[in-house]
């Protein structure tokens, strides 16, 4: 069995490598196209050439999610823990106007019908600057103390907590430090609540190793009236976790499309 220290390291390295490994197949939303592309292959990691329909990077580079995680990791090492102001500056430097994320094409995309990108724009030749980062950059440039997006609830929250949990797992301030980091770019309660639930799950694995009962353990934590870092949405998170647990006998792609798809 791996030690706690080895599991801390594996969580960080595993998340970054996995992100880079699947980056060339990122955001292929058409299931039929994806199935035709990979066919029966099981070795789809580090796919080349890139089949990403939104942005094209060299195989082996991290996606926008991995880049966020790496910025956080470096800030934690540099400051020997969470330093929100250092993290804000580091995030701005990595994703701001002087970075390789600066793109006139990506800048005009706002996810609305009026500002949809065309087939001539895609895939973007370079990294993709997505919603929460765009909101963060604007808030940072306006010298706002709270720089996080107040509307973005996307999965960045789950990726951003990994290195923080790896550092603070087993310490009472872990969840508070995770929340500090999450709100730098996503100051939205849904994203924070989901990120904190994921942090609880990862902490359990780091401290105890593999367990088939991790969901039940985290549900018990979230139902504890004396829990650390309570959130108003914890009851809803409990419901979602129980719903996911009830689907563990089904294939992932079936559950996503039939049980949790948002049209």
d(CA 160, CA 81): 14
pLDDT mean over 35-51: 93
**Res. 31: pLDDT tops 90:** no
pLDDT at 40: 84
CATH at 228: 1.10.4080.10
Residue 114 has pLDDT above 60, yes or no: no
| Residue 108 near residue 92 (C-beta atoms within 8 A) | no
Could you tell me if residue 45 is inside a domain? yes
- The answer to the question of residue 259 being in a domain is no
pLDDT class of 109 with cuts at 50, 70, 90: low
63 CB neighbour count, 10 Å cutoff: 22
pTM of the entire predicted model: 0.92
Q: Is 7 exposed, middle or buried (0-12, 13-18, 19+ CB in 10 A)?
A: buried
Q: Return the closest-CA partner of residue 133 out of 117, 115, 109, 113.
A: 109
Domain membership of residue 69 (yes or no) is yes
Within-domain flag for 55: yes
Q: What's the domain count of the chain?
A: 1
Q: Which of 233, 145, 152, 237 is nearest to 186 (CA)?
A: 152
- The two tokens of residue 83 are 């330093």
Note whether residue 174 is domain-resident: yes
Residue 144 DSSP symbol: -
User: Over the stretch 156-168, which tens digit does the pLDDT of each residue have?
Assistant: 999 999 999 999 9
- Residue 57 within any structural domain of the chain: yes
Whether 256 is in a domain gets the answer no
What band does 256 get if pLDDT is binned at 50, 70 and 90? confident
**Cβ neighbours around 24 below 10 Å, total:** 23
Domain span at residue 134? 4-251
Residue 146 belongs to a domain = yes
Q: Is residue 227 predicted with pLDDT exceeding 60?
A: yes
Question: For 98, phi and psi rounded to 5 degrees?
Answer: -100, 10
Q: Are 68 and 152 in contact (CB under 8 A)?
A: no
SS3 readout for 168-186: HCCCCCHHHHHHHHHHHHE
Question: Residue 195 has what pLDDT?
Answer: 98
């Amino acid at each position: 069995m791996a030690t706690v220290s080895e599991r801390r390291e594996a969580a960080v390295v595993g998340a970054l490598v996995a992100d880079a490994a699947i980056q060339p197949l990122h955001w292929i939303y058409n299931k039929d196209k994806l199935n035709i592309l990979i066919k029966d292959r099981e070795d789809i990691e580090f796919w080349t050439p890139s089949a990403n329909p939104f942005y094209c990077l060299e195989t082996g580079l991290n996606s926008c999610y991995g880049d966020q995680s790496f910025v956080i990791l470096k800030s934690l090492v540099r400051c020997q823990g969470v330093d929100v102001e250092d993290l804000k500056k580091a995030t701005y430097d990595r994703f701001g106007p002087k970075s390789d994320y600066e793109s006139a094409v990506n800048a005009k995309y706002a996810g609305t019908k009026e500002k949809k990108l065309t087939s001539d724009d895609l895939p973007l030749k370079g990294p993709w600057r997505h919603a929460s980062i765009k909101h963060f950059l604007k808030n940072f440039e306006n010298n706002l103390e709270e720089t996080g997006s107040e509307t973005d609830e996307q999965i960045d929250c789950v990726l951003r907590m990994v290195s923080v949990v790896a550092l603070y797992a087993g310490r009472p301030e872990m969840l508070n430090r995770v929340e500090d980091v999450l709100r730098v770019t996503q100051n939205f309660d849904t994203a924070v609540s989901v990120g904190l639930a994921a942090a609880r799950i990862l902490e359990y694995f780091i401290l105890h190793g593999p367990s088939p009962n991790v969901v039940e353990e985290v549900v018990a934590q979230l139902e504890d009236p004396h829990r650390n870092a309570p959130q108003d949405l914890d009851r809803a998170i409990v419901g979602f976790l129980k719903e996911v647990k009830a689907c563990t006998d089904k294939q992932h792609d079936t559950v996503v499309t039939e049980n949790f798809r948002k049209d």
